[in-house]
Structure 1
């Protein structure tokens, strides 16, 4: 089964955030953060 590793997940998010930060407008962070909350992640907004 899939084991939830917060450190690994967090590092992937950091990379994704860095990439999106260069390509996406700032409000996208709130949108994506809200999506993570809906999925069961943590908010960044």
Structure 2
């Protein structure tokens, strides 16, 4: 089995997902957070913090 290598982008994406989950956001437009791109996650995160 090939081990998964976490990139810096993966780490940033997981940080944003963790922040959104702490704010009570689990889905965006019917999609699970892990299905979204980093751009979409950051956009949602910024909307939640306003």
| TM-score normalised to structure 2 length | 0.42
* Higher RCO (CA < 8 A, seq sep 6+): 2
Determine which structure has the larger helix proportion and give its number: 1
TM-score under structure 1 length normalisation: 0.45
Greater fraction of residues in strand: 2
Which structure has the greater CA radius of gyration? Answer: 2
